[in-house]
Structure 1
Amino acid sequence: MAVSKLVKYLLFNFNLWFFVGGIGILSFSTLVKINKAAFQITDELLPAVNLLIFVGAMTMAFGFLGCCGALQESRCLLAILFKGLLVMFLMLLSVGVLGAISRTASAQEIVKEHMKDLLPLSEQPQDFQVSFQIVEGTGFCCGFFGGHHDWGNAKAVPPSCNCRDFTRNCTVMEERIIYATPCMTYYMTWLDRVSVTLMGIASGFGILMILGMIFSSILFCQLRDGKKSFFLSF
């Protein structure tokens, strides 16, 4: 059975996309981890981010091996590619599960309980307060659960709570106009979007990996049958 050139070059193109996609996943997930405060990444989301970093690195490696295996028609490299894609597919499935779990009410309650330990906010380390004030300015919110009360007292409420967009929900506090919406609402909306993004990435690459496994299996079988035919001709 002759090796199909169509399958061969389709597999090469898939692996080229894996390699490029791996660079994208690795770059984005590393950026997110380095700038945890800017992306509001909590300890609950770090496992998914770390898993994406690992998957991105492995995708690059197996994408390169797959390109070489397809061009050189190497059964060894194709076998490694298939096993690697299977492992990465299971890992991406885990990312999707983590993203789905983070959207459930139970996970949200865990986040709430974790944040309750940080009250009052004015007694937390300075770097945490600065990071949270960035969240308040970005999300047009103040405090976490109880609005400005989460800062402990009126004097401790930072300027990030000052209402600058009067189309938002604002209230008056001792001659100051501040945001009335707690940041919990903003945070859960953002968390839901991140979860959807993670599941979308996992689903998209999962489909590509399934196709890659199919094409690598076909090419591997064609090479095996071709080798058998070669020996039988003598």
Structure 2
Amino acid sequence: MAGVSGCIKYSMFIFNFLFWLCGILILALAIWVRVSKDGQEILSSGDADVNSNVSVNILIAVGAIIMILGFLGCCGAVKESRCMLLLFFIGLLLILLLQVAAGILGATFKSEYDRVLNETLYENVKYLSATDDNAKAFQQALAEFQEEFKCCGLVRGAADWGSNFQQFSKSCECPEMPDDSCTVYDGKYVYKQPCISLLKGLMAKHIIIIIGIAFGLAVVEILGLVFSMVLYCQIGNK
């Protein structure tokens, strides 16, 4: 009868030990943000407190699941437990299937996502000309974005700012020697390009990064599935 390969066994242990450590780090960070005073200040600094809390709760769940799977994989490899290895395999397979389903849904509803994004950006134009406290955070965020990415306004250009233009014009202003990318608005040289295309491009770039990370995780998960099943079969044949 064939024995258990020491290389596969300890590779499986190291893989799952790192997996378990990642779960601990994610869980610890999420719990700290959820319960600590500093973490609550971070959450309350944004406009969407409920969404922030939901995100933290999801991170807590993800961290706990990763910890459990890492524990099952480590113990299953060291103790040569077919039951633990099988549970690890099933759990990892379910996560992989969920990732694939999420990817398919993301590709299916891409046009819907683009439509919602456009509607959201056009709807937010009204905050630029508003004077209430709720709009100030959005105005400040866009002003910083304008200064960094050399654009002005959200959809129609500088006109989006309305009566607030003079207050935020500095973030829109072109250099002392303006070129074709600049225009004159209300007595100031400002950038022609509205920020909507840059914002959409930035979001698309982030989505590509997320897809890349998800693909990398899928490769690691497939390796984990292969290692666990090979080890499971070797233990059965021992």
Please confirm whether the aligned pair reaches a TM-score higher than 0.5, indicating the same fold.
yes
In structure 1, the residue matched to 2:181 is 169
Shift of 1:208: 1.0
Shift of 1:220: 1.4
Corresponding residue to 1:191 among 203, 214, 234: 203
Q: Secondary structure at the match of 2:125?
A: coil
Structure-1 separation of matches of 2:183 and 2:117 = 26
In structure 1, the residue matched to 2:66 is 59
Identity of aligned residues (%): 36
Corresponding residue to 1:204 among 199, 207, 216: 216
Runs of 4+, deviation exceeding 6 Å: 23-28, 47-53
Corresponding residue to 2:228 among 216, 226, 233: 216
Q: Does 1:141 align with 2:161?
A: no
Shift of 1:57: 4.9
The one-letter code of the counterpart of 2:161 is W
Runs of 5+ unmatched residues, structure 1: 42-46, 227-234
Shift of 1:193: 1.0
Over residues 165-189 of structure 1, what are the superposed CA-to-partner deviations in whole Å (9 max), with x where a residue is unaligned?
Answer: 9578222112212121111111111
Shift of 1:211: 1.3
> Over aligned residue pairs, what C-alpha RMSD do you find?
3.8
Shift of 1:89: 1.2
TM-score (normalizing by structure 1):
0.74
Structure-1 separation of matches of 2:153 and 2:67 = 42
Residue pairs, 1:8-157, within 5 angstroms:
8-19=9-20, 54-55=61-62, 57-97=64-104, 100=107, 104-120=110-126, 121-123=128-130, 125-153=135-163, 154-155=165-166, 157=168
Runs of 5+ unmatched residues, structure 2: 34-38, 49-53
The one-letter code of the counterpart of 1:127 is A
TM-score (normalizing by structure 2):
0.73
Over residues 72-107 of structure 1, what are the superposed CA-to-partner deviations in whole Å (9 max), with x where a residue is unaligned?
Answer: 2222221221122112212333454466468x4542
Corresponding residue to 1:182 among 194, 199, 202: 194
Shift of 1:117: 1.9
The one-letter code of the counterpart of 1:74 is S
Note closer, same or farther for the CA distance 1:127–1:208 as it changes in structure 2 (3 Å cut).
Answer: same
In structure 2, the residue matched to 1:160 is 171
Q: Secondary structure at the match of 1:125?
A: helix
Shift of 1:162: 2.0
Q: Secondary structure at the match of 1:3?
A: coil
Structure-1 separation of matches of 2:175 and 2:95 = 46
